[in-house]
């Protein structure tokens, strides 16, 4: 009788083991932008190749467009383990205590993607990703979006045109500081709420990449879009650290390689996506796109430069200096 009970117990244990081995690992990947943006497409590509390469052992459920969580909630959900992966804009890491990520929001510190990649793909990028571990977060890679531009319902050409405008911003203290510097009134708001806030006049304008502007249909509710390109806009792809560490080693390695490939895919098409978005805004004909002359661009650079020094306490003087070195940025030469 005892022998039978032991056999039954052993059998059910091994059935359980088989069942759990057969259960796929589910990764919920939440983000706040549309599918037809660099991040939206890169997340979909990552899902495709990761699922193919893990042969059904991993399922990645991507939730775009703030479907699951808005800006702040998604970071909390990741830390609690309610979702396993995210790719928030670097401008949203401050509230988690990772203020160094605001280095990417420093106005005009990057002139192009090549300069950005010197940082994201080099030791500084590695150091930034590593710094997230103490928050229970594994930093995996960086994805480009584009360069941020100002939009509003009244024309914006020079920094002085920002005066008195209520501008939606994400939770970045750097963005808040430069908005205040030019006399605007920044309002922190989740990305998913921006269209309505523009439509109802809660804000006068915002700043974002062309792809985010167009894919959220902000051109329906903003008359002017000015190509200030005043800061880089990009993402850090992150995972819940406990979850990531517990993944079987072979699966983790496959996912890491899939992320490398998804990063290449993302960064290859980011520029084109933003160019296409601008063309669509132009074609829709509701928004006037203003390109700046070199002198006007220079006026923005000069006006926003004091933010670099102002943010030293938050971002770290040393980090700022090492990014200056990587990008050959010399504030004295502006
Ligand atoms: C924002 O302005 O909130 C965006 O940068 C969102 C995003 O993920 O690109």
C-beta of residue 39 within 8 angstroms of C-beta of residue 31: yes
Instruction: Say what the pLDDT of residue 88 is.
Output: 98
Per-residue pLDDT, 4? 53
Beta pairing class for 25-30 and 85-86: parallel
Q: Is the pLDDT of residue 275 over 90?
A: yes
d(CA 267, CA 127): 21
pLDDT at 84 over 60: yes
Whether residue 87 has its Cβ less than 6 Å from ligand 1: no
Is the CB of 37 within 6 Å of ligand 1? no
Residue 7 pLDDT greater than 60, yes or no: no
Burial tier of 4 (Cβ tally within 10 Å: 0-12, 13-18, 19+) = exposed
Give the domain ranges of the chain.
Answer: 23-329
Please check the confidence at residue 8 and state whether its pLDDT lies above 90. no
Measured in angstroms, how far is the CA atom of residue 64 from the centroid of ligand 1? Answer: 12
- Closest atom of ligand 1 relative to the 37 alpha carbon: 9
Confidence (pTM): 0.93
Query: pLDDT digits over 216-236, tens only?
Result: 999 999 999 999 999 999 999
Report the alpha-carbon distance of residue 229 to residue 150 in Å, rounded.
8
Q: Quick one: which atom of ligand 1 is closest to the CA of 88?
A: 8
The response to whether residue 233 sits with its C-beta less than 6 Å from ligand 1 reads: yes
Please state the rounded mean pLDDT for residues 144-168: 98
**Residue 22 binned pLDDT confidence (cut-offs 50, 70, 90):** confident
CA atoms of 86 and 239, how far apart (whole Å) = 7
pLDDT at 334: 87
* Sequence-ordered list of residues with C-beta below 8 angstroms from that of 128, at least 6 positions apart, any chain: 100, 101, 103, 139, 236
Query: Which of 170, 203, 210 gets mutated to test ligand 1 (max ligand atoms within 8 A of its CB)?
Result: 170
Distance 279 CA to ligand 1 centre (A): 20
Q: How confident is the model at residue 330 (pLDDT cuts 50, 70, 90)?
A: very high
Neighbours of 44 (CB within 10 A): 17
- CA nearest ligand 1 atom 7, residue: 89
CATH superfamily of 23-329: Bacterial extracellular solute-binding protein, family 7 (3.40.190.170)
């Amino acid at each position: 009788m005892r022998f039978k009970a032991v056999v039954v117990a052993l059998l059910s244990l091994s059935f359980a083991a088989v069942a759990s081995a057969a259960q796929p690992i589910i990764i919920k990947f939440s983000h706040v932008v549309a599918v037809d943006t660099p991040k939206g497409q890169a997340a979909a590509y990552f899902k495709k190749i990761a699922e193919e390469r893990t042969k059904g052992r991993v399922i990645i459920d991507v939730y775009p467009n703030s479907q699951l969580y808005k800006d702040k909630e998604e970071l909390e959900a990741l830390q609690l383990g309610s979702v396993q992966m995210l790719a928030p804009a670097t401008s949203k890491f401050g509230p988690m205590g990772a203020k160094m990520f605001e280095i990417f929001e420093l106005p005009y510190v990057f002139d192009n993607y090549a300069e950005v990649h010197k940082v994201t793909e080099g030791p500084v990028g590695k150091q930034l990703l590593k710094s997230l571990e103490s928050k229970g977060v594994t930093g995996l890679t960086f994805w480009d979006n584009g360069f941020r531009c100002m939009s509003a319902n009244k024309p914006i050409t020079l920094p002085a045109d920002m005066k008195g405008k209520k501008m939606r911003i994400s939770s970045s203290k750097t963005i808040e500081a430069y908005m205040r510097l030019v006399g605007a009134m920044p309002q922190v708001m989740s990305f998913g709420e921006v269209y309505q806030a523009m439509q109802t006049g809660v804000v006068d304008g915002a700043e974002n990449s062309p792809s985010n502007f167009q894919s959220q249909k902000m051109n329906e509710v903003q008359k002017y879009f000015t190509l200030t390109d005043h800061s880089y806009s990009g993402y850090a792809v992150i995972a819940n650290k406990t979850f990531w560490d517990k993944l079987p080693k072979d699966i983790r390695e496959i996912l890491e390689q899939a992320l490398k490939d998804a990063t290449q895919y993302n960064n290859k098409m980011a520029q084109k996506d933003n160019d296409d978005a601008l063309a669509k805004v132009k074609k829709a004909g509701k928004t006037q796109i203003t390109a700046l002359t070199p002198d006007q661009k220079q006026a923005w650079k000069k006006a926003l430069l004091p933010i670099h020094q102002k943010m030293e306490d938050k971002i770290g003087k040393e980090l700022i200096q090492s990014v200056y070195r990587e990008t050959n940025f010399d504030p004295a030469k502006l």
